[in-house]
Structure 1
Amino acid sequence: MRPPDNRRRRFEELYQANHDPVLGYVVRRTANGHDAADILAETFMTAWRRLDDVPAGEKARPWLFGVARRALANHHRGERRHTALTARLASELSAIQRQPREESADMDALAKAFEDLSDGYREVLSLADWEGMSIAEIAVVLGCSANAVRIRLHRARRRLARALSVDPPGRAARARVPEGDSA
């Protein structure tokens, strides 16, 4: 559906009048032009979505600067998280590289078995075991029921265990009675 012309016209006027000042504000606060362009786009996308909230006249520019300021804050938080994650992963990788060759071979086998799983099974395992999400949280992420997540997670773990030629978790704890024998 095409927006009404007056709404579109108002946004275009807002964009023309404020693009350069907002861009200058953002460029002076980012490390590179790509980040500045992303933040500028996010600022004007917010303005489009909330056009009815944008003050008229001269009050529009400070409002846009406030939006840009929040977008910059989000960007900088993301950069800090990225830097921290990179440092943590580098530390973990260096620890893995120092492991004896046998453990490294086990990790290689696990990585290969994990890669051979379908995308859906890799995703549900990642969310449960790497991200530490509950069944209910995974259901929200995947857009399905908690019961469907339980089934997928069970199947994914079973297939991963089978690929590694070991018993699925919890199964080894159950006593196995050969056919014909009774407990």
Structure 2
Amino acid sequence: MSGEQQGSPDGGASALLAVYDDALPAVYGYLLRRCADQRVAEDLTSETFLAAMDTVRRDRAARPTTPWLIGVARHKLADHWRRMQRTPDPVEEVPERGDDEWDAHLDRMVAHHTLATLSPTHRAVLTLRYVDDLPVGDCAALLERTVGATEALLTRAKRAFRAAYPDTDTRSGPTGSRRGGHA
């Protein structure tokens, strides 16, 4: 194979290096917000840039940009979720952060914790649909399902999330602790 076919430091690889400093925090942030585990986000960020390097070496016309790299990261995250479906491991607790804007922070923690209790499939479809704001058809393509199956999965995932989400009345103190009652 000639050097031109394999790519060269002056081709796509140098273009990737040129956007690396700007793209790295964007890609890592994208992944961290969606998986809530720093180690997984770091691993997926590495996988993203390795896959991007492979692509630019194979395809000299590829010109990496931050949005393109986030697209690669989205695929790496979907691959991760599929692996989790096949080999489920217990999800660790959501790491605690500072207590600025405590109510919003608490709600985010509860939502992350609730997502972590769901199956990887439910977690994946809810994140793709409501965090990434993807249309159902795109969610279906990433999860390798039909649109109808994905809509049914979304319905089941939302029901599971609602069932797993702690009753907000119990967090408000003793006045909201009546089981089944409404304030």
Smaller-chain TM-score range? 0.3 to 0.5
**Rg comparison, structure with higher value:** 1
TM-score by length of 2: 0.46
Higher relative contact order (CA 8 A, sep 6+): 2
TM-score by length of 1: 0.46
